[in-house]
Structure 1
Amino acid sequence: MFPDVPLYHGFVKQGGGVMASAHQKMKALCMMMMMLNVFICVLVGVTWNHGDDKSVNQRVRIPSAKFWHKQERSKSFWNKEQQLLDFIHNPVINFATSDESLVELPDWLNDTGPLDPCEPDYRVTTQIADYNTLPQRFQDFLLHMRCRTYPMLINQPRVCDGKPFLLLAVKSLIPHFDRRQAIRETWGRAGVLANRTVATVFLLGNTWSPDHFPDLQGMLDHEAELHGDLLQWDYRDSFYNLTLKEVLFLEWFGQSCPHARFVLKGDDDVFINTPRVINLLEGLTESKAKDLFVGDVISDAGPHRNRKLKYFVPESVFVGQYPAYAGGGGYLYSGELALRLYNTSRRVVLYPIDDVFTGMCLMKLGLAPEKHSGFKTFDIEEKHRENPCIYRILMLVHSRTPQEVLRIWSWITDPELDCQ
């Protein structure tokens, strides 16, 4: 710590006189002070350890048993896959596995399916008892539930170069040319709206030969070249793969549009009052905007067990209650939250209902969607549907035909419409 200088009880051996002697005494004093500090620290430590045992035990509890107990694996396929993901992404357990005396690993951790997550997972055919009775597209989802990587057929990497205030991300299907065009001419018109930059993208998968759709890819390529707003991936576009569309979009967002302030994600059969949405967003505080996620929230729901229903999920696939989630017809959230949702989505097993899956991701983040009365994903009362002033105060209504979208837009943009 100090230079290697010989010390003497009197003056230094050569030259230096009284000043040199005083310098050496100062060093000796510093050394004594350091030794005294060390002694005090040791004394305090001994006093702490030999003090009141009850007080010590209240401060620190040293476990005498292993903290990880064998966990029974669920009998439902989705739940046990989630158990596996929870284990893999648990930093405490992963740290503890470095010491085998602390952790006893469950034997089911070896049941991980094929090494390549995009290979068909044929475990589902034996581990889901009623697999053969499920709808064919549901079977297809389960076989490929672990795959999240698909080639991109059409991309728009520069659509967000202007750092839009609002990105409208619209779920669509290849044949829905008329819906997309109606949106472009009304609420999804890209450019500057209410003094804010708005960008629009339509999210598409691909057709699959077993579904017997006509080949419209050439028309789609022309549409993409004409409008520059289509995003398409090469996966089977079906109701059960809407969750895949969600995670692929979030990945694209992080790569190509991370500076968009807000995202409104909805179906291609909704009407959105874009000016009113922008007005809502402009009134938010920074803290409110950061975790924003609003929509038509559904709480205390669970899986439907009726096989005739569109949202049917059997007990062999999932058990438990759903978290609060916003109806998939349309919801609004911050761009910052979109980035966090993507990272969290990798820790949640794909679920065959996309809005429920998004609710699961929010719950992982410790968040919940906020209900907003302006989002009507289950429509409005029939007696109000022809009232132009109703649409002036709403944010989103589901569902409307392309012709109705054009008519409603003409109502709310009419400067002579008096709604006093």
Structure 2
Amino acid sequence: MAMQRMRLKLGVTVVMVNLFIFILIFRHSGQDKNGHHKVRIPSAPFWSKLTPPLAYWNRQQQVVDIQNNPVLAANYSATDLRLTEDSLTSDPCTQNMGVTTQVKDYNSLPERFKDFLHFMHCRSYPIVLDQPDICEEPPFLLLAIKSQVSHFDRRQAIRQSWGRAGVIGNQTVVTVFLLGNATAWDHHPDLSFSLRDESLRHQDIIQWDFRDSFFNLTVKEVLFLEWIQTRCPGARFIFKGDDDVFVNTYRILDFLKGLTEPKARDLFVGDVITEAGPHRDKKVKYFIPESLYTGKYPPYAGGGGYFYSGEVAARLHSVSRRVLLFPIDDVYTGMCLKKLGLGPERHKGFRTFDIEAKYRSNPCAYNSLILVHPRTPQQIIQIWAWLNSPDLNCQ
């Protein structure tokens, strides 16, 4: 027993001596010969200048990122941080001809890219048709459908089926259709009088005065996010989709009502695409030239349709001001989500690339799904009738 006590005392003594030596060495290392504390100065800046990317969009977005980071911006001059336009917005919107010398293969690009590049800094356009009181009672679910002026039959089919506004499943649902302007440049007939009649009758048309083209769907996205904050900030959830999809509104409401509060707050659900990148084949609708963008796309939900919370909508609206417009709207939304540190959630009920042909005439195939794309107006009405039939038995 005495031997154990001696060993314990010896062990404690050794530990204390080692601790004392460590303290002396630590204090000495921070002092110079005169006993003064040393100031360690880094040999190089912690944040170094970034190499400008060759692709036009990446280069301009890098400048925006630096402008919004005061630590990085301190290493750059005013000339370094100058965009081809003075800001992300221009109101009134004027054509930016500077891109003709900023994009290396500008002259060989398709016309739709030249048009996009000339106006990609513009994101403020006059509203032509509005429904300022449509969310007077904040809805549980806001259905926002991207449409075009001439798509009267698609809008009417949606009104008569899955987009019927009112109370569904004890929850308030509001429907709006999002339109741009059909211009003579695109050889559209003048349907403005018919559209105004439709708007007066149904009071669900939102239209802005911009060219309604495929590349301008991103403009429609940022304008809609602005509209939500001014006209419908109390919407609990938002579904946003195309006018050629069938949506099972009942399944969306069932899904939303079962969410916990934390889950609902950061909700963004759809048919998620990951590890994707730009198409380089000029014949493909989604072609993006290397002179415009390089790198992978962030995870994004296919633009056929997805839904998200009102809180996420407000955050998307805020962060979108720091993300340059991109020609593909669903990719752009994925970029904004990445800026927020959010990722879209995949749901197997979204079938943006359709279901197997053998199941398309089976009513029960649609009973558990949320979205199927594409469908004609006639098919939309037929599927809705199937799901509302009292004789439907999918056990």
User: Shorter-chain TM-score category?
Assistant: 0.7 to 0.9
Question: Which of the residues 80, 85, 105 maps onto 1:108?
Answer: 80
Indicate whether 1:301 and 2:276 are aligned.
Answer: yes
Cα RMSD (Å) of the superposition? 2.0
Match of 2:141 in 1: 166
Match of 2:162 in 1: 187
Contact 1:203 1:232 in 2 (8 A): yes
Deviation at 1:74, TM superposition (A): 1.1
Indicate whether 1:197 and 2:176 are aligned.
Answer: no
* d(CA) in 2 for partners of 1:63, 1:170: 55
The AA in structure 1 aligned to 2:77 is: L
Deviation at 1:90, TM superposition (A): 1.1
The TM-score, its normalising length taken from structure 1, stands at 0.83
* d(CA) in 2 for partners of 1:62, 1:259: 52
Deviation at 1:106, TM superposition (A): 7.8
* d(CA) in 1 for partners of 2:357, 2:325: 36
The AA in structure 1 aligned to 2:118 is: L
Match of 1:69 in 2: 48
Question: Which of the residues 348, 352, 369 maps onto 1:377?
Answer: 352
Indicate whether 1:348 and 2:323 are aligned.
Answer: yes
Provide the secondary structure at the position in 2 that maps to 1:79. helix
User: What per-residue deviation string (whole Å, max 9, x for no partner) do you get for residues 192-212 of structure 1?
Assistant: 001100000000000222111
Deviation at 1:64, TM superposition (A): 4.5
Provide the secondary structure at the position in 2 that maps to 1:203. strand
The AA in structure 2 aligned to 1:84 is: V
Question: Which of the residues 225, 228, 231 maps onto 1:253?
Answer: 228
* d(CA) in 2 for partners of 1:330, 1:139: 28
- Matched residues, number: 362
Match of 2:57 in 1: 78
Provide the secondary structure at the position in 2 that maps to 1:159. coil
Indicate whether 1:209 and 2:181 are aligned.
Answer: no
Indicate whether 1:267 and 2:242 are aligned.
Answer: yes
Match of 1:35 in 2: none
* d(CA) in 2 for partners of 1:276, 1:238: 31
* d(CA) in 1 for partners of 2:341, 2:211: 32
* d(CA) in 2 for partners of 1:130, 1:307: 14
Match of 1:242 in 2: 217
Whose Rg is larger? Answer: 1
Contact 1:202 1:230 in 2 (8 A): yes
* d(CA) in 1 for partners of 2:351, 2:78: 46
Match of 1:88 in 2: 67
The AA in structure 2 aligned to 1:275 is: Y
* d(CA) in 1 for partners of 2:141, 2:76: 49
* d(CA) in 1 for partners of 2:84, 2:280: 27
Provide the secondary structure at the position in 2 that maps to 1:317. coil
Match of 1:314 in 2: 289
* d(CA) in 2 for partners of 1:416, 1:52: 87
Indicate whether 1:126 and 2:105 are aligned.
Answer: no
The AA in structure 1 aligned to 2:85 is: G
Deviation at 1:52, TM superposition (A): 5.9
More deviation in 63-72 or 353-362? Answer: 63-72
User: What per-residue deviation string (whole Å, max 9, x for no partner) do you get for residues 332-390 of structure 1?
Assistant: 10011000001011111100000000000000000110100001111111111111001
More deviation in 203-212 or 400-409? Answer: 203-212
Contact 1:150 1:234 in 2 (8 A): yes
The TM-score, its normalising length taken from structure 2, stands at 0.88
* d(CA) in 1 for partners of 2:235, 2:292: 36
Contact 1:156 1:229 in 2 (8 A): yes
Contact 2:57 2:293 in 1 (8 A): yes
* d(CA) in 1 for partners of 2:170, 2:211: 39
Match of 1:42 in 2: none
Contact 2:84 2:99 in 1 (8 A): no
* d(CA) in 1 for partners of 2:83, 2:164: 49
Contact 1:69 1:104 in 2 (8 A): no
Describe the shift of the 1:338–1:52 C-alpha distance in structure 2 as closer, same or farther (beyond 3 A).
farther
Provide the secondary structure at the position in 1 that maps to 2:220. helix
* d(CA) in 2 for partners of 1:61, 1:354: 49
Contact 2:60 2:83 in 1 (8 A): no
Unaligned runs of 5+ in 1: 1-46, 98-102
* Percent identity over paired residues: 58
Contact 2:139 2:172 in 1 (8 A): yes
* d(CA) in 1 for partners of 2:133, 2:316: 22
* d(CA) in 2 for partners of 1:155, 1:183: 19
The AA in structure 2 aligned to 1:51 is: R
Deviation at 1:108, TM superposition (A): 3.2
Provide the secondary structure at the position in 2 that maps to 1:294. strand
Within-5 A mapping of 1:22-41: none
Deviation at 1:178, TM superposition (A): 0.3
User: What per-residue deviation string (whole Å, max 9, x for no partner) do you get for residues 299-357 of structure 1?
Assistant: 00000000000000000000000001000000010011000001011111100000000
Deviation at 1:132, TM superposition (A): 2.6
* d(CA) in 1 for partners of 2:127, 2:306: 25
* d(CA) in 2 for partners of 1:336, 1:111: 31
